[in-house]
Structure formats: C-alpha cells, structure tokens
Amino acid sequence: MSRLKRVIFAVGIATPLMGAFVFGIEPALAVGPSSTVVSAETNASLAPEEKLTKAKEDLTKALDLSLKKVNGLKSRLNELNFPELSREEELKNEALKNLDDYADYYNKAKEDLEKKNSLEEVKDLAKNVKEYRDTIYTPGVEEIVRFVLVFYNEEVLGIANDRLSKIETDVKKLDKLGVIKEADFRSKLDEADKLLQKAHNLQGEAKEIILSATSTDLVKEKKSSAKDMIENSLNNVKNVYIIFLELNQTVKKSLGL
C-alpha cells in the first residue's frame, strides 16, 4: 500500500479520534515554534556560562533535528520503487548518497560541538552550519523534494482518476435505472476530467524536466519551473475533489437521500 493510500486509510479509521488525539498529543520530536520563543533580551542577560550552555543546547538540538530531517527524506525516497537501471533509480540513488553526505556533515558538527569551550567557538560553528545549509544542503534538499513530489503527484493523479471513473460508473448505473439523468451531470464530469487531464500534462512535463540530465543553468531554470508545474497540477487535483463533493451532493439530492 502506498504512503498516500495508507494516509487515506488511516484518516478513515482515525477520524472519530483525531480531534482530541492528534491535536492533543505532544510528540517528543514535535517542535512547535512556541518552544523556541525566548526573547533575545532574556538570552542576552544570561551569565556567560549559561549562555555557552544554552547555545550548545540549541545547536545540538538544531543538529539533531537536521539529522531527523535527513532520515525523514531518506524514508520518503526509499518508499519510491523504480525499475532497475532506470533514470529514476539513478536519481534516487544519487539523492540517497547526497543525504548520507548531509548526515555525515551534521554528525561531524555534533562531534566538533562537544569540543567547543567558548561561546564564540559555538557561534562560529553555528555560522558554518548555517552557511552549509544555505549553500549545499537546502539546494540539494529542494531538488530531492521536487523529485519526491513529482512521483507523489503521479500517485495522487492515479487516485483522483480512479475516483472519477467510479463516479462516472455510478452516474451511468443510476441513469439506466431511470432515477437520474446522466446529461444533468455531464458538464461537471467533463470539467473534472479536463482538470485532471491538465494536471496530468503538467505532471508529465515536470517529470520530464526533473529526469533530464546535466546541471546547466538552462536545466536549473527549467527545474524551477517544474516546481510551479507540480504546484499547479496539485492545485488542479484539489479543485477536482471539490467538484467530486459537489457531484455527490447533487446526486444525493436527486435521489431524495
């Protein structure tokens, strides 16, 4: 079962419990923005030893979260299965290798941090980590996220197309029984079909760009547009589900249910 299908299944099972449970719990790694809201003045007024301790704590936490993020991306990549020796498989392995490199960097930074005995040293290390994230890690992760999302987009399109086929079959069945007229629903069904077709085309184009080789400036620019294509494609799918829900309500009304 794919990740998204598992999510849909889990939502179906857990919906009655979700309100209290999901929003009530405080997972160990669920770091919300509120946990870090400590005013700059408070930190500035700390004693030098306390500043060093707190700075080391914060940097350790940042590095732990960075490692957690890297592992999360590795899991997402490993859920994607491609034919051996395909371009997709090649890019996936490349991305996994990059993630291993990021993890190595963060682990090395953690080791370095343990040896730091002054606030300035800790600050310098933090600056290095920040620089690494801005120049190496983030562009790399951005590419990995695009790669993962283009296949996520493909999966979502499959689910939405499947739903449209089922709805069309239902409308035809009810038309045969004489309880509704298919013609009354045709325009909405066609609208959904067109949106999905457009979403599919956008996803296809984005996939082609992402799978293309080399890292010339032209390709980099194209890759940026691939992000917009995925975004538009996913927004189309969202709109299609709005139409599906409208269709559901109209059919129910026609049946007097």
Partner 1 sequence: MRQNDEDIIKKFQGLRRIEPDVGYVRDSRRLVLASRNAPLPRQDIFAGVTQSLSFAFETALVAALFLVVILGGVFGLSKSLFLPVLQGIDEKALVTEADAINNDIHLKLDEIAYFGNHKTSTERVVALDAKRIQPGRKELPLTETLTDQEIDKLLNRVINEY
Question: 94 to 133, contacts with partner 1 by CB under 8 A?
Answer: 119, 122-123, 126-127, 129-130, 133
Q: Which of 17, 81, 86, 166 binds partner 1 (CB under 8 A)?
A: 166
Amino acid at position 102, single letter: Y
Cβ closer to partner 1: 195 or 237? 237
DSSP string, 85-99: T-HHHHHHHHHHHHH
Residues 234 and 153: beta-carbon distance below 8 Å:
yes
CA 147, distance to chain mean position in Å, is 10
Q: Which of 174, 175, 156, 150 is nearest to 77 (CA)?
A: 150
Closer CB to partner 1, 91 or 234, in the complex: 234
Q: Give the C-alpha separation, 134 to 59, whole Å.
A: 16
Which amino acid, one-letter code, is at 178?
G
Amino acid at 26: E
- The owner of tokens 């790399």 is 140
- For residue 36, give the DSSP letter: G
CB of 183 to partner 1, least distance (A): 17
> Which CB, 4 or 96, lies closer to partner 1?
4
Work out which of 103, 145, 211, 219 binds partner 1, going by CB under 8 A.
Answer: 145
Residue 85 Cβ vs partner 1, minimum distance, rounded to whole Å: 29
What residues numbered 59-98 form the site for partner 1, per CB under 8 A?
59, 61-62, 65-66, 68-69, 72-73
Look at the block and give the residue holding tokens 């606030």: 119
| Closer residue to partner 1 (CB): 86 or 245 | 245
Closest approach, Cβ 126 to partner 1, in A, equals 4
185, 247 in Cβ contact below 8 A? yes
Q: Which residues in 128-156 are b (16+ Cβ under 10 Å) and which e? A: ebeebbeeebeebbebbbbbbbbbbbeeb
Closest distance of CB 26 from partner 1, Å: 10
Site for partner 1 in 177-216 (CB under 8 A): 177, 179
Contacting partner 1 within 219-248 (CB under 8 A): 224, 227, 230-231, 234-235, 237-238, 241, 244-245, 247-248
Rounded to the nearest whole angstrom, what is the least distance from the CB of residue 27 to partner 1 in the complex? Answer: 7
Residue 20, interface with partner 1 (CB under 8 A)?
A: no
Choice between 58 and 182, CB closer to partner 1? 58
**From 24-32, 86-94, 96-104, 195-203, span contacting partner 1 (CB under 8 A):** 24-32
226 close to 209: Cβ distance less than 8 angstroms: yes
160 interacts with partner 1 by CB under 8 A: yes
